[in-house]
Structure 1
Amino acid sequence: MRDTDLLRHRLWVQIGLPLATIALLSACDDAANVKPVKVDTANTAKAPDAAKQHNADDDDDEDDDDNDTKAATKPARTTTDSASPGYVPPARIDDIPAGEFDYFGPARDPFTEHEEEDGCPAGDWCGTPENARKFAIQHVPEKMGCPSKIISQPDVVNALNKKDKQWDGLSFHPMMQGRLMTSVTTEKRAAGKTDICCYHWFEYCSGRPLLDGEDMIVAELREGSSWSCDPAKVAAPEDRPDSAIDPSVRARLAQMWVDDALMEHAAIAAFERATLELMAMAAPPSLLGEVQAAASDEVEHAMHCFGLAARFSGLAREPGPLGSLEPRVRGLAALADHDPDGAEVGADWIRLAIDTFVEGCVGETIATLIARRAQRHCQDPAILTLLERIVDDEGRHAGLAWQTIQWITEASGKHSDAVLEALSQQAQAMANEAERACEQLPPADPDAAALGRYGRCDRRTELLARRDAWSQLILPTLAAIAQTDTSEQGPEAWT
Structure 2
Amino acid sequence: MRDTDLLRHRLWVQIGLPLATVALLSACDEPAKVKPVKVETANTGATPEPTKQPDDAAKKAPAVARTTTDSASPGYVPPARIQDIPEGEFDYFGPARDPFTEHEEEDGCPAGDWCGTPENARKFAIEHMPEQLGCPSKIIAQPQVTNSLNKKDKQWDGLSFHPMMQGRLMTSVTTEKREAGQKDICCYHWFEYCSGRPLLDGDDMIVAELREGSSWSCDPAKVAAPDDRPDSAIDPSVRARLAQLWVDDALMEHAAIAAFERATLELMAMAAPPSLLGEVQAAASDEVEHAMHCFGLAARFSGLDREPGPLASLEPRVRGLAALADHDPDSAEVGADWIRLAIDTFVEGCVGETIATLVARRAQRHCQDPATLALLEQIVEDEGRHAGLAWQTIQWITEASGKHSDVVLEALEHQAHAMAEEAERACEQLPPADPHAAALGRYGRCDRRTELLARRDAWSQLILPTLAAIAQTDTSEQGPEAWT
Give the TM-score, by structure 2 length.
0.91
1:224-255 deviation line (CA, Å, top 9, x unaligned): 00000000000000111111110100000000
**Which segment is superposed worse, 149-158 or 87-96?**
87-96
Structure 1 residues 333 and 70: CA distance shift in structure 2, 3 A: farther
How far the C-alpha of 1:25 sits from its partner, in A, is 3.3
1:452-494 deviation line (CA, Å, top 9, x unaligned): 0111000000000000000000000000000011122235200
Q: Which residues in structure 2 correspond to 1:63-462 (within 5 Å)?
A: 87-101=76-90, 104=93, 111-112=100-101, 117-339=106-328, 342-462=331-451
Structure 1 residues 340 and 488: CA distance shift in structure 2, 3 A: closer
Structure 1 residues 316 and 491: CA distance shift in structure 2, 3 A: closer
How far the C-alpha of 1:98 sits from its partner, in A, is 2.6
* Aligned equivalents of 2:57, 2:113: Cα separation in 1: 26
Structure 1 residues 414 and 160: CA distance shift in structure 2, 3 A: same
1:418-467 deviation line (CA, Å, top 9, x unaligned): 00000000000000000000011112100000000111000000000000
* Aligned equivalents of 1:100, 1:306: Cα separation in 2: 23
Q: Which residue of 1 aligns with 2:10?
A: 10
Structure 1 residues 83 and 420: CA distance shift in structure 2, 3 A: closer
Maintained 8 Å contact 1:39/1:69: no
How far the C-alpha of 1:137 sits from its partner, in A, is 1.1
Structure 1 residues 303 and 45: CA distance shift in structure 2, 3 A: closer
**Which segment is superposed worse, 377-386 or 182-191?**
182-191
Structure 1 residues 222 and 71: CA distance shift in structure 2, 3 A: closer
* Aligned equivalents of 1:437, 1:84: Cα separation in 2: 24
**Which segment is superposed worse, 416-425 or 189-198?**
189-198
1:175-211 deviation line (CA, Å, top 9, x unaligned): 0001111111111111111111111100000000000
**Which segment is superposed worse, 456-465 or 43-52?**
43-52
How far the C-alpha of 1:340 sits from its partner, in A, is 6.7
* Aligned equivalents of 2:66, 2:288: Cα separation in 1: 36
Maintained 8 Å contact 1:185/1:197: yes
Maintained 8 Å contact 1:47/1:444: no
Maintained 8 Å contact 1:137/1:149: yes
How far the C-alpha of 1:22 sits from its partner, in A, is 3.5
How far the C-alpha of 1:112 sits from its partner, in A, is 4.9
* Aligned equivalents of 2:375, 2:294: Cα separation in 1: 9
How far the C-alpha of 1:29 sits from its partner, in A, is 2.9
* Aligned equivalents of 1:207, 1:90: Cα separation in 2: 28
Structure 1 residues 67 and 448: CA distance shift in structure 2, 3 A: farther
* Aligned equivalents of 1:309, 1:484: Cα separation in 2: 43
* Aligned equivalents of 1:96, 1:141: Cα separation in 2: 22
Maintained 8 Å contact 1:137/1:150: yes
* Aligned equivalents of 1:433, 1:70: Cα separation in 2: 46
* Aligned equivalents of 1:398, 1:133: Cα separation in 2: 35
* Aligned equivalents of 1:69, 1:332: Cα separation in 2: 66
* Aligned equivalents of 1:72, 1:120: Cα separation in 2: 34
* Aligned equivalents of 1:211, 1:411: Cα separation in 2: 25
Maintained 8 Å contact 2:78/2:92: no
Q: How large is the RMSD of aligned CA atoms in angstroms?
A: 5.2
1:351-374 deviation line (CA, Å, top 9, x unaligned): 000000000000000000000000
1:373-421 deviation line (CA, Å, top 9, x unaligned): 0000100000000000000000000000000000000011100000000
How far the C-alpha of 1:93 sits from its partner, in A, is 1.2
Structure 1 residues 441 and 177: CA distance shift in structure 2, 3 A: same
Q: Equivalent residue of 1:49, what SS? A: coil
* Aligned equivalents of 1:456, 1:120: Cα separation in 2: 12
How far the C-alpha of 1:118 sits from its partner, in A, is 3.4
* Aligned equivalents of 1:18, 1:203: Cα separation in 2: 33
How far the C-alpha of 1:150 sits from its partner, in A, is 0.6
How far the C-alpha of 1:336 sits from its partner, in A, is 1.1
Gap regions ≥5 residues in structure 2:
none
Structure 1 residues 45 and 280: CA distance shift in structure 2, 3 A: closer
Structure 1 residues 80 and 25: CA distance shift in structure 2, 3 A: closer
Gap regions ≥5 residues in structure 1:
54-65
**Which segment is superposed worse, 250-259 or 12-21?**
12-21
Give the TM-score, by structure 1 length.
0.89
Maintained 8 Å contact 2:114/2:159: yes
Structure 1 residues 346 and 71: CA distance shift in structure 2, 3 A: farther
* Aligned equivalents of 1:4, 1:165: Cα separation in 2: 36
Maintained 8 Å contact 1:69/1:443: no
* Aligned equivalents of 1:476, 1:355: Cα separation in 2: 19
1:51-77 deviation line (CA, Å, top 9, x unaligned): 999xxxxxxxxxxxx999999999998
* Aligned equivalents of 1:361, 1:483: Cα separation in 2: 17
**Which segment is superposed worse, 174-183 or 138-147?**
138-147
1:276-333 deviation line (CA, Å, top 9, x unaligned): 0000100000000000000000000000000000101111100000011110011111
Q: Equivalent residue of 2:136, what SS? A: coil
How far the C-alpha of 1:97 sits from its partner, in A, is 2.1
Maintained 8 Å contact 1:51/1:445: no
Structure 1 residues 103 and 85: CA distance shift in structure 2, 3 A: same
How far the C-alpha of 1:271 sits from its partner, in A, is 0.3
Maintained 8 Å contact 1:237/1:381: yes
**Which segment is superposed worse, 12-21 or 365-374?**
12-21
Q: Equivalent residue of 2:166, what SS? A: strand
* Aligned equivalents of 1:249, 1:34: Cα separation in 2: 30
How far the C-alpha of 1:342 sits from its partner, in A, is 1.6
Maintained 8 Å contact 1:51/1:448: no
Maintained 8 Å contact 2:28/2:461: no
Structure 1 residues 67 and 147: CA distance shift in structure 2, 3 A: farther
Q: Which residue of 1 aligns with 2:25?
A: 25
Q: Equivalent residue of 1:177, what SS? A: strand
Structure 1 residues 256 and 226: CA distance shift in structure 2, 3 A: same
Maintained 8 Å contact 1:264/1:302: yes
